[in-house]
Structure 1
Amino acid sequence: MDVFVYGTLTEPSTAERLLDRYEFDGRAVLRGLYRVDGSYPTLAPGGRCEGRLLSTSEVATLDRYEGVDSGLYVRRSLPADDGSTVECYIGDPAQLGVAVTWPGTGPFADRVDRYLDTSDVGVTIR
């Protein structure tokens, strides 16, 4: 499975510490979301973000690292320009100390889903 990474997981030392099997598959650009730095990097609506593709079957390990169970990050599938799907982690700005507003009301995950459903968000693989 390919994962678009844009923060600490772009570092080989982090991936090596966490994962038994992984490979970096090159550079990618995420359109429709841009990087914002807080306690940890996250994404915000609009713009674009440079990153890397990390290929691994150990998504459960990445979910634990990103705090998916606690709601720190949500993992979402995004379309790529080659017809594939790429996973991406998006952090809750309230928990990361970032002044970012996601449109709409309700829980963070629901606002992310609505934005992704109504916006041109996707990954260009280089």
Structure 2
Amino acid sequence: MAVFVYGTLTDPERAATVLGDGLQYEFVGRATLEGLHRVDGRYPTLAPGGSVDGRLLAVDDAGLERLDRYEGIESGLYVRVAVPATSGVRDDRCWVYVGEPDRLDVDGTWPGSGPFRDCVQRVVSRRAVVVRRTE
């Protein structure tokens, strides 16, 4: 499965540290996430509007579980959402990690109320958010 990475995991050495130890993974190209833009803080995250360049990382289920731990999914630091992907991406969707702005001490506003995951999912499902391979 494909994961769009736009921060520390774009670095091959960091990805090897997180995903090493026998897990199958590979960078499969550069991509642009349209409809969300990068916001920098303690760790990078995303906010509605604009676009951000990154890389596509192909992982298996074990790799996705390791990425979830790295991104702090269980503690609510980041959420993982499925974003539609265009041709050139192995699947018709791509996973994207979005950090909770308050927890990362960044200025990133998400419309709506309720749990952060729900706010992100509503934006992704209602706006033109898509991952496009660029090479």
Q: TM-score, normalised by structure 1?
A: 0.96
Paired position in structure 2 for 1:125: 133
Cα distance in 2, alignment partners of residues 55 and 33 from structure 1: 21
Paired position in structure 2 for 1:73: 78
Matched, 1:100 2:105: no
User: Following superposition, which runs of at least 4 residues in structure 1 exceed 6 angstroms of deviation?
Assistant: none
Paired position in structure 2 for 1:13: 13
Cα distance in 2, alignment partners of residues 115 and 78 from structure 1: 10
Matched, 1:54 2:57: yes
Cα distance in 1, alignment partners of residues 29 and 48 from structure 2: 24
Equivalent AA in structure 2 for residue 53 of structure 1: L
Give 3-state SS (helix, strand or coil) of 1:95's partner: helix
The Cα RMSD (Å) is: 0.9
Cα distance in 2, alignment partners of residues 113 and 22 from structure 1: 26
What is the CA deviation profile of residues 35-71 of structure 1, one whole-angstrom value per residue up to 9, with x for unaligned ones?
Answer: 0001100000000000000111110000000000111
Aligned partner (choices 26, 42, 60) of residue 39 of structure 1: 42
Give 3-state SS (helix, strand or coil) of 2:76's partner: coil
Paired position in structure 2 for 1:110: 118
Matched, 1:28 2:31: yes
Cα distance in 1, alignment partners of residues 39 and 107 from structure 2: 9
Equivalent AA in structure 2 for residue 64 of structure 1: R
Matched, 1:64 2:72: no
Task: Specify every segment of 5 or more residues in structure 1 that has no aligned partner in the other structure, as ranges.
Answer: none
Matched, 1:85 2:69: no
Equivalent AA in structure 1 for residue 79 of structure 2: V
Aligned length, in residue pairs: 126
| TM superposition shift of 1:95 | 0.3
Cα distance in 2, alignment partners of residues 106 and 18 from structure 1: 31
Equivalent AA in structure 2 for residue 47 of structure 1: G
